[in-house]
């Protein structure tokens, strides 16, 4: 089993749609969780951290369920510019040790007019 | 700019040659990471440096791979006797500190092609 698993995608949605991505992780000791975004042939960039209580940043909402070891990302009112690969990222080192991150395979999102 | 800088941006070399990739982290960032991303694959952790501590080399795929970080700043990743399976994008990231909640800032990567 992979340490971080994501929806395989790809997701093709029209502008204005709401889309949700799911992710599961295997190390119950993981402490930090993130969603990164990677545009085609570009470097990954941090989209948002994911907190236990859930957090929102504009049109983006992230949720964490520690009991189920499950993370989600919801994008509302999709824009063409949201088209990218979304990477679920987990610190699988656990505890307070350093930020060794494990990346999921990524989910491709294409928003069309 | 003030971001992570990597060089070269592209490198094409023949199988069996050695290559050296360079990463210049964001000024003041003490943690530095190397990853690689093969075509259509996720990011694979290679090595981590934090301050003057011994690096975590647990992700290096073979003894042909090595990395160093001089003076706590610039890092070089060296691949000896390159093989075709080494072809990938090699990404460097830095973060302000070692904490697990520190976001990592990535460079543009070096696209390595082994002929």
Q: Looking at chain B from residue 48 to 67, which residues have their Cβ under 8 Å from any Cβ of chain A?
A: 48, 50, 56
pLDDT band at B64 (very low <50, low <70, confident <90, very high): very high
* Contact residues, chain B, for A33 at CB < 8 Å: none
pLDDT at position A30 is: 85
Of A88, A107, A19, A21, which is closest to residue A48 (Cα–Cα)?
A: A88
Of A44, A105, A47, which is closest to residue B105 (Cα–Cα)?
A: A44
Are B101 and A32 in contact (CB < 8 Å)?
yes
Of A43, A49, A102, the CB nearest to B108: A43
CA distances from A70 to A63, B28, B88 (A): 8, 34, 30
- Which chain B residue lies closest to A108 (C-alpha atoms)? B40
Of B112, B64, B59, which is closest to residue B88 (Cα–Cα)?
A: B112
CA distances from B84 to A87, B41, B65 (A): 26, 16, 14
Find the helix or strand (DSSP H, E) in which A25 lies. Answer: strand A19-25
Could you read off the pLDDT tens digit of each residue along chain A, which spans 113 residues? 788 999 878 999 999 999 999 999 998 888 889 999 999 888 999 999 998 888 999 999 999 999 999 999 999 999 999 999 999 999 866 544 566 788 999 999 999 99
Residue B94 in this model has a pLDDT that exceeds 70: yes
Are B103 and A34 in contact (CB < 8 Å)?
yes
Residue B40 in this model has a pLDDT that exceeds 80: no
pLDDT at position B46 is: 94
Of B43, B100, B109, the CB nearest to A99: B100
User: How many CB atoms are located within 10 Å of the residue B14 CB?
Assistant: 8
Contacts of residue B76, Cβ cutoff 8 Å, sequence gap at least 6: B20, B21, B22, B23, B67, B68, B69, B70
Handedness of CA B82, B109, B41, A3 (dihedral sign): positive
Residue A59 tokens read as 């049109």
* Contact residues, chain B, for A51 at CB < 8 Å: none
* A52 phi, psi to nearest 5 deg: -55, -35
% of chain B beyond a pLDDT of 90 = 67
Residue B41 in this model has a pLDDT that exceeds 80: no
Of A49, A93, A99, the CB nearest to B95: A99
What is the tens place of the pLDDT at every residue in B9-26? 999 999 999 999 999 999
């Amino acid at each position: 089993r992979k340490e971080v698993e994501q929806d395989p995608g790809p997701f093709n949605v029209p502008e204005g749609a709401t889309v949700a991505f799911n992710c599961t992780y295997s190390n119950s000791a993981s402490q930090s969780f993130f969603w990164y975004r990677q545009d085609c042939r570009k470097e990954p960039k941090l989209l948002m951290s994911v907190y236990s209580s859930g957090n929102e940043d504009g049109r983006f909402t992230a949720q964490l369920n520690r009991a189920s070891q499950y993370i989600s990302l919801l994008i509302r009112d999709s824009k063409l510019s949201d088209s990218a690969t979304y990477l679920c990222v987990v610190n699988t080192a656990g505890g307070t040790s350093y930020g060794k991150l494990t990346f999921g395979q990524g989910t491709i999102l294409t928003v069309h007019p | 700019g003030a971001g992570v800088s990597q060089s070269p941006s592209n490198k094409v070399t023949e199988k069996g040659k050695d290559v050296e990739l360079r990463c210049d982290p964001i000024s003041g960032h003490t943690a530095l990471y190397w990853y690689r991303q093969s075509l259509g694959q996720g990011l694979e952790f290679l090595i981590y440096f934090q301050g003057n501590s011994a690096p975590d080399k647990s992700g290096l795929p073979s003894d042909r791979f090595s990395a160093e970080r001089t003076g706590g700043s610039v890092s070089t990743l060296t691949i000896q006797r390159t093989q075709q399976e080494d072809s990938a994008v090699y990404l460097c990231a830095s973060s302000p500190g070692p904490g697990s909640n520190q976001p990592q800032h990535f460079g543009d990567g070096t696209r390595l092609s082994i002929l």
